Every structure is written in structure tokens, then in C-alpha cells.
Amino acid sequence: MRSIISLLIFLALSITTFAQQTKQITLDVIWQSSTFYPEMMRDYRMYPLSDAYTVVENNAIVLYDLKSDKQIKELFPSSVASQNKISIDDYSISTNANFILIFTNTKQIYRHSTESDVYLYNVKTKMLYRLPGNQNI
């Protein structure tokens, strides 16, 4: 009796398996559709002296809490960027978190070197200063 029940369960499971429509995985499906693409992570950077991280969103540098993933504040507001016609290519925050170096108009000059217009933003006074000349990095 036990073997008959086991056989019936096995047959029921195998029928549902065969009833499912199987779709072949081809190279076209892999490379031309987004089915197998991983989700991209945001380009985040750890914020010094706290459990927070920063990201560039809508041409603003935004600070987020690491645990809750909630926005804390804008370190560099997009309004300052638009007033000064700045498009953020890269940025670097000082270790005491009082200053942000903002790199704009970045051009590749050698294989691993770039040339940029660099601005210094004082987070406390909310003042933006353009550093003279193009900076080579």
C-alpha cells in the first residue's frame, strides 16, 4: 500500500513537471535581453567619521544613513551646481568632512591620467571656490 501511494505521488509530481512549459536558453536570450543582467549598485562612498555613505543624485552629493538607507541631507546641493554650471564627474570628501573637492569637465589625457576643472566646496560655510588652472590627476 505504501509503495502505491509513493508511486501516485511520484506520478503526480512528474506530470506537473512535464506540464510546465520549458523555454530554451539561447545566446540571444543571454546577450540581447536583460533577463540575466545583475542589478547595478549605486556608486557609493563611505562618509568619514560616521556610519553613512554618499552618492551623486541629480548633480547633488547626498548623504544617506547606512543602517536605515534614509537620506540625511544634501552635502552639495544641486542648486549650487546649477548656479555655477557644474556637472559632477567625481568628488572627494576630506577626512574631517568639512571640504569636498568636485571634479568637472574631466578629459582623459593619458591612459590613467585625467585633466579636470576642480572646485572646493566648504560644507560649513556653503561657499564654492574654483581652483585656478586645470588640475592633472
pLDDT tens profile 58-92: 999 999 999 999 999 999 999 999 899 999 999 99
Q: What's the domain count of the chain?
A: 2
Same-domain check for residues 66 and 15: no
Owning domain of residue 26? 2-32
Is 107 inside a domain boundary?
Answer: yes
More confident residue, 25 or 56: 56
Cα-trace Rg, the chain: 27
Same-domain check for residues 28 and 82: no
Same-domain check for residues 61 and 28: no
Q: What is the pLDDT of residue 126?
A: 94
Give the tens place of pLDDT for each residue, 13-26.
666 555 555 677 77
Is 53 inside a domain boundary?
Answer: yes
Strand order in the sheet with 60-65: 45-46, 52-57, 60-65, 71-76
The pairing of strands 90-93 and 99-108 is antiparallel
> b or e along 61-80 (b: 16 or more beta carbons within 10 Å of the residue's beta carbon)?
bbbbeeeeeeeeebbbbbeb
Amino acid at 89: D
Band of residue 31 on the pLDDT scale cut at 50, 70, 90: confident
- Residue 52 and residue 66 in contact, taking contact as beta carbons nearer than 8 Å: yes
Same-domain check for residues 118 and 62: yes
Q: What is the pLDDT of residue 15?
A: 63
- Residue 93 and residue 45 in contact, taking contact as beta carbons nearer than 8 Å: yes
Whole-model pTM over 0.85: no
Same-domain check for residues 73 and 106: yes
